[in-house]
Structure 1
Amino acid sequence: MDTTQFTTLITHPDRDVRLRAAMDAGTLHDPHVTAALVARLGVEDDARVRENLTWALVQHGDVAVPAVLALLRSENPLERRQAAHVLSKIGDPSHVPHLLPVVADADPDVAIKAYRAAASTGSPDVVHPLVARLGDGDAGQRDALSNAMQQLGELGVGALVEALGDGDATVRLHAAEALAQIGEDARAATTALAGRVADEDADVALAAVMALGAVGGDDAAAVLGDVVSAGHQPLAAVARRLVNAAA
């Protein structure tokens, strides 16, 4: 398949034809093919074809990156979203300055893809911009951010501990949930989580107890034991289940 054929096939009305063309494009290392793939990202309406476009662009490597980075500045949210998705498969720390604006994007679908792309770089420079999004959006968006923080692991724990002291209960709640998702790698947050067990917001207090169970360790177990002894429900019942599960 030459470049002219590819350009025709990638815009074909039949979704199966486009699907195959995008897959085949991964082996067509031609700048014109790369440009056609990038152009298709913002208009393709089929999820499977978009995923094949993403795969093909990753195969094109450094040749595709400048055009994909440029799409992050597009006024079209679909283009920004798909560009972030492609970059999440590459994980290059040098992309961080380009990704930070879309981490803060007002479009939730763009932001969700940007969270993962930022975390995939493994750069400490993405931690605080990601933590700044704690509490934003619906459950799906919050879960995506927690997943990104889990991917960063210990790198994000310090900033999440700071967020446990935020004046907004929604932020504190999300910080505790993210620490729980990180699990054992977040044991440095044990003392801060223990301080949130008495949070004035019941949901935050419960999330702190759950996070202590997730991070584990002797110190967390001791705090959970104290919660059981205090007898305040429902915290005591939850703490008891966590203690018994760890035994």
Structure 2
Amino acid sequence: MTHTRHHGAQSLRTRLQAPDPSARLQAALSAGTYPRPEYVEVLVERCAVEPDFYVRDMLTWALTRHGAPATVDRVLRELTSQIPQARSQSLHTLSKFGDPRTWPAITTALLQDDDAEVARAAWRAAVAVVPPDGVAELAEVLATQFDRGDHDVQRSLSRALVALGDPASAVVERAKAHPDTGVRRHAMATERLIENPDEGFEAAVHEANRVLALLGSPEVRE
């Protein structure tokens, strides 16, 4: 039996290393369609190095098809990996499980990770698993990330704060008085999204720039 499990895991590992992304996608699909405990380690390992977005997403789906307790335990260990993609993909996977153990594992260090993709994944995962009594604390940490990164990163942060609802309003209001113009701009745009969730981020930024200009602050590039 042990030999059979090893053979199954090795076969999957080989197929997930195929040069053709479509072949790797099919291998991940098969692993999720016919889940086996020995596949978990192989799938987690591949998440850290898989270059194709669609294959990574299929790897996450395949992991969610395996038993939650053992799989979540293994994925949680990736949060301390030195490989940024391992951290970001594990956060993405954990957000799909919604396991309560994920919340205490999403540290401030992950929410403020130097790698933007890790931080974005941490924001999304945290919003998905935060308990009611942790929302205010999460909003405070997210507020430290205002004006971080490019347009996509800032949009992700705004979406995370919008998803937190009313508890985020206080930190957004406070950030509007920040001495840094970029922080004020981002906070104003986020406030508009909280008030009008259907408004696009680009439109919210444009309006924030308009208000800043009227207030005499230098307009910043959108």
> TM-score when scaled to structure 1?
0.70
State the number of aligned residues.
196
Match of 1:149 in 2: 161
Match of 1:106 in 2: 114
Two-structure CA RMSD over aligned residues (Å): 2.6
Q: Confirm whether residue 59 of structure 1 aligns to residue 65 of structure 2.
A: yes
Where in structure 2 are the equivalents of 1:81-230 lying within 5 Å?
81-100=88-107, 101-123=109-131, 124=135, 125-184=137-196, 199-201=215-217, 203=219
Match of 1:49 in 2: 55
How far has the Cα of 1:79 moved from its partner?
A: 1.0
How far has the Cα of 1:87 moved from its partner?
A: 2.1
Return 5+ residue gaps in structure 2 as ranges.
Answer: 1-6, 198-207
Aligned equivalents of 1:63, 1:166: Cα separation in 2: 45
* Higher gyration radius (CA): 1
CA distances 1:128-168 after superposition (whole Å, capped 9, x unpaired): 11111111111121111011112222231122122222222
**Correspondence for 2:43 among 30, 37, 41:** 37
CA distances 1:160-202 after superposition (whole Å, capped 9, x unpaired): 12222222222121111111112258xxxxxxx9xx8774525
The runs of 4+ residues in structure 1 deviating greater than 6 Å are: none
> TM-score when scaled to structure 2?
0.77
**Correspondence for 2:14 among 8, 21, 29:** 8
SS for the counterpart of 2:119 is helix
Are residues 201 and 89 of structure 1, via their aligned partners in 2, closer, same or farther at CA, if it must alter by over 3 Å?
A: farther
Aligned equivalents of 1:31, 1:159: Cα separation in 2: 44
Return 5+ residue gaps in structure 1 as ranges.
Answer: 186-192, 205-247
Tell me the amino acid that sits aligned with residue 118 of structure 2: V
Instruction: Point out the structure with the larger helix share.
Output: 1
Question: Structure with the greater relative contact order (CA < 8 A, sep ≥ 6): 1 or 2?
Answer: 2
Whether the 8 Å contact between 1:42 and 1:78 is mirrored in structure 2 is: yes
Whether the 8 Å contact between 1:120 and 1:151 is mirrored in structure 2 is: no
Match of 2:79 in 1: 72
